[in-house]
Structure 1
Amino acid sequence: MARNLKHLSPLIFTIQVLVTISIIMSIGECRVYHPNDDTLVESSCKQTPDPNLCLQIFNSYPRSRTADLRGLGLILVDAIKTRSIPTLNKINQLHQGASGKLRGALASCSESYKGILNGDISVAIAGIESWNFKFAEQAVTDAALEVKYCQEEFNGIPSPIANENNFVRGAANIAQVIVRLMY
């Protein structure tokens, strides 16, 4: 019996080495961003539809300095959420005193932002954290579309939430690109 175990030792060692290499390679799929290495944020932002907004978002999150690509994706999702909450509150306040077409547009936007906050955000986070990047990309794409549809509801009347919509949609469009870079 001991003789059989002696022959298995090299095989077990080889399996352990292969498993360790596999783990290290999967961890290495996302480039690590070092504190003095601005190239990950800069090169990623250059590939987005709005590099200035991208840099503005990452500059407002100190943890972006040490984040890998997945971390940058999570920061963008957090930025979408952080801006969507007060936007939904503003929509609901404006809706109370609105009438006619404005009231209808605000009601539609309220539903859009509820969808973003109650669905798209958690799906995007879960997708990024579970390495299911296509799932995450679809969630941020949905968020961008929700905001687009919201803004379109103001057709012919001034939108009181145009700035908020532009930011959230811009952040979601940037997140699409960043998530796509992950796979």
Structure 2
Amino acid sequence: MVIVLFSLFILNNFSEADLIDSTCKKTSYPNLCLTTLRSSGVSVKASVNLLVINILKASLSYASDTSNQINNLLKKTTGGYQKQCLEICEENYEVAIADIPDAIKWIGRNETDIAQSSINSLDVEARNCDDACHELQISLPFSARNIMLSHFATIMLEILQGLPS
């Protein structure tokens, strides 16, 4: 009897842990997905929506850190195209950061279609920052962070699009 209960406990925990693995493996960036969710301390009993909320929270922290970097660079920049580029990026990140709580709210209400619009904004704003600076022929020291924020958005959209509406 004890062995049967222990086996059921192990199988139950294994299948719950598989939700993170199986969900992340379906994304374009499985390692980033796994690393983000494992470091967030998300419960193995979490729902798919809760997985996305945890990635959104990590994205908020990441975007806020990038925004702080942009603001620090703006303080050191005197003018010209570099300042223009940084101001554009500052605006892009303000929009992205403002959209994250909305996405969390909509996912919490199981309105994943609406949440996808806010999540897509993360990708758009990060890309717009990079594109605007590229057009001005300005190299960004945080370009890799724009790419990473875009990857976070891609992961979340792929997870949500895999859910039944």
Aligned to 2:146: 165
| 1:108, distance to aligned residue in structure 2 (A) | 0.6
Specify which of 141, 155, 163 is matched with residue 174 of structure 1: 155
Specify which of 79, 97, 101 is matched with residue 81 of structure 2: 101
Specify the code of the residue in structure 1 equivalent to 2:100. Answer: I
Specify the code of the residue in structure 2 equivalent to 1:77. Answer: L
Post-superposition Cα deviations, 1:75-113, rounded to whole Å, max 9, x if no partner, equal: 111011010111111101101222322111110111111
Does structure 2 retain, via aligned residues, the 8 Å contact 1:58–1:64?
Answer: no
Distance in 1 (alpha carbons) for counterparts of 2:94 and 2:82? 18
Aligned-residue CA RMSD (Å): 1.5
Residues 1:58 and 1:64: Cα distance change in structure 2 (over 3 Å):
farther
Q: Which runs of 5+ in 2 are unaligned?
A: 1-11
Flag the structure with larger Rg: 1
| 1:66, distance to aligned residue in structure 2 (A) | 2.7
Does structure 1 retain, via aligned residues, the 8 Å contact 2:17–2:45?
Answer: no
Structure 2 SS opposite 1:66: coil
Q: Which runs of 5+ in 1 are unaligned?
A: 1-33
The answer on 1:52 being equivalent to 2:49 is no
Does structure 2 retain, via aligned residues, the 8 Å contact 1:123–1:136?
Answer: yes
Identity of aligned residues (%): 26
Specify the code of the residue in structure 1 equivalent to 2:72. Answer: Q
Specify the code of the residue in structure 2 equivalent to 1:135. Answer: I
| 1:42, distance to aligned residue in structure 2 (A) | 1.6
Structure 2 SS opposite 1:48: coil
Specify which of 60, 66, 72 is matched with residue 45 of structure 2: 66
TM-score (norm 1): 0.76
| 1:154, distance to aligned residue in structure 2 (A) | 2.1
> Residues 23-172 of structure 1 correspond to what in structure 2 (within 5 A)?
35-36=13-14, 37-98=16-77, 99-118=79-98, 120-155=99-134, 156-172=137-153
Specify the code of the residue in structure 2 equivalent to 1:104. Answer: Q
| 1:152, distance to aligned residue in structure 2 (A) | 1.1
| 1:35, distance to aligned residue in structure 2 (A) | 4.4
TM-score (norm 2): 0.84
